[in-house]
Amino acid sequence: MDGRQEGQDGGGSSGGSLILTNIGELATPLGRSARAGAQMGQLLRIKNAGVVVDKGVISFCGEMSDPAFCDKLDQAKREGFPILDANGMACAPGFIDCHTHFIFAGTREDEFFWRANGLPYMEIHRRGGGILRTVEATRKASQTELLELGSKRLESMLCQGITTVESKSGYGLDLDTEVRILETAKALQATTPVDLVSTYLGPHAVPPEFLGDPEAYLEFVIHTVLPAVRSRNLAQFADVFCEDGVFDLEQSRRYLLAARELGFHLKLHADEMAPLGGAGLAAELSATSADHLLKAADADLLAMARAGTIAVCLPLTAFALREPFARARFMIDNGLAVALASDFNPGSCYSQSVPLLFALAVLYMNLTIDEALTGLTLNAAAALGLAQTTGSIEAGKKADMVLLDAPSCDFLAYNVATNLVKTVLKAGTVVYTRA
């Protein structure tokens, strides 16, 4: 790699125009699809770099000494582009959190301490705690309340460098509340610079009105809620909690096939608590991603690699549950594309911490910092179907970038669990600066 990426000026896109100079180190994966296996560790790193952004789209990134940059710089100055001096800070693509449940009401702090004292997550679930407690609180919440809660959480994400986030439903489990959650995400998109991608997670648990009859609930979801969500264009993805004691393989398959028939892209919560075979089902159905995967079998993971299904690992959840981490090293070494995400939710992972996520990925999942950065940028973008337009710093991509108060992106892991994000740019516009 020659240290620069050059392309046509980004015409026609909405967004800001600027010149970013004096970047101490620019680090980015490259490509318009997920990087798998050894490719995950192949970052482009440029010292003393510059980036030119035209109408929200990157038109050049490379060394400031490159004559092509000087030409772009002169042209941009003539056109009145503002100049942002990075003063030696490192630059990375905006982080992408491709698995969250951030729209909900109520909290479950007592359950955190129950688990800390040894009570298993699924035992809490069986006792009527867990998801159903949040369902009760969320059903009672107005859209105004959900908007306020969601807005605060998005602000927290933005200041940690997250520029795109997935938002799952699944805390309503009825028609009205599920629609209200998804409409809240749609309303939030009009008020935040963070891009939102919505996922319908109706089969998250069996609600009280269907208790003991998961088949009847699944029929309700397939024939009533899924079509309503699709007709209102409220979600791009459909997800299911495929887990022992929740929805089994056949129920998950039936739901996902119905969702695919309606035009949804597919995701699964798979093999988190037990090796049920959800990862294999994800491969069978060519799902976009299978997430969690703490207990996934080798054969199912290898099938995911062949199918091109992205493995989304959620180290904050394993940490909070005190479970063994997903075997990301095995996955990468066997040709999978691995993405990283927070799984922010009120129960098993009440954390949005990007800094802790990087630390856990490197220290306990044995990823290199290059692999971890790819996992939270380009591969996470691919897990949301967005790798063509975002997830990397290269010509033709949306100018979503973060500046770090550090000389190198290595500090994302080395400066353990510390938020280094100084400035966030979304489509070429500065949307956050830490005082």
Query: What's residue 10's pLDDT?
Result: 32
For residue 12, what pLDDT band results from cuts at 50, 70 and 90? very low
Q: Which residue has the tokens 């949301």?
A: 384
- Amino acid at the residue 180: R
Residues in the chain, total: 435
For residue 9, what pLDDT band results from cuts at 50, 70 and 90? very low
Dig out the tokens for 113 from the structure. 């301490």
Query: What's residue 410's pLDDT?
Result: 98
DSSP 322: T
For residue 220, what pLDDT band results from cuts at 50, 70 and 90? very high
Query: What's residue 356's pLDDT?
Result: 98
DSSP helix/strand/coil, 38: helix
pLDDT exceeds 90 at position 8: no
Query: Rounded to whole angstroms, what are the CA distances from 29 to 77, 107, 164?
Result: 28, 37, 17
Q: Which residue has the tokens 């440029």?
A: 46
Query: What's residue 36's pLDDT?
Result: 98
Beta-carbon-side half-sphere exposure of residue 167 (alpha carbons within 13 Å)? 30
Closest CA to 359 of 379, 344, 340, 334: 340
Query: What's residue 5's pLDDT?
Result: 40
Closest CA to 313 of 353, 256, 243, 372: 372
Per residue, the 3-state secondary structure of 239-275, as one string, reads CCEECCCCECHHHHHHHHHHHHHCCCEEEEEECCCCC
In the chain, what percentage of residues exceed pLDDT 90? 89
In the chain, what percentage of residues exceed pLDDT 70? 97
pLDDT exceeds 80 at position 2: no
The model's pLDDT over 59-106, given as tens digits with 9 standing for 90+, comes to: 999 999 999 899 888 888 899 999 999 999 999 999 999 999 999 999
Residues 403-431 have a mean pLDDT of: 98
For residue 142, what pLDDT band results from cuts at 50, 70 and 90? very high
Cβ atoms of 372 and 413 closer than 8 Å: yes
Dig out the tokens for 348 from the structure. 């098993």
The model's pLDDT over 171-203, given as tens digits with 9 standing for 90+, comes to: 999 999 999 999 999 999 999 999 999 999 999
Q: What share of the chain is helix, strand, coil (3-state, %, to 5)?
A: 35, 20, 40
Query: What's residue 365's pLDDT?
Result: 98
Query: What's residue 128's pLDDT?
Result: 66
Mean pLDDT (the chain) is: 94
Cβ atoms of 106 and 171 closer than 8 Å: no
Residues 9-15 have a mean pLDDT of: 46
The model's pLDDT over 301-333, given as tens digits with 9 standing for 90+, comes to: 999 999 999 999 999 999 999 999 999 999 999
Alpha carbon distance 382, 35 (integer Å): 9
Q: Which residue has the tokens 């710093």?
A: 393
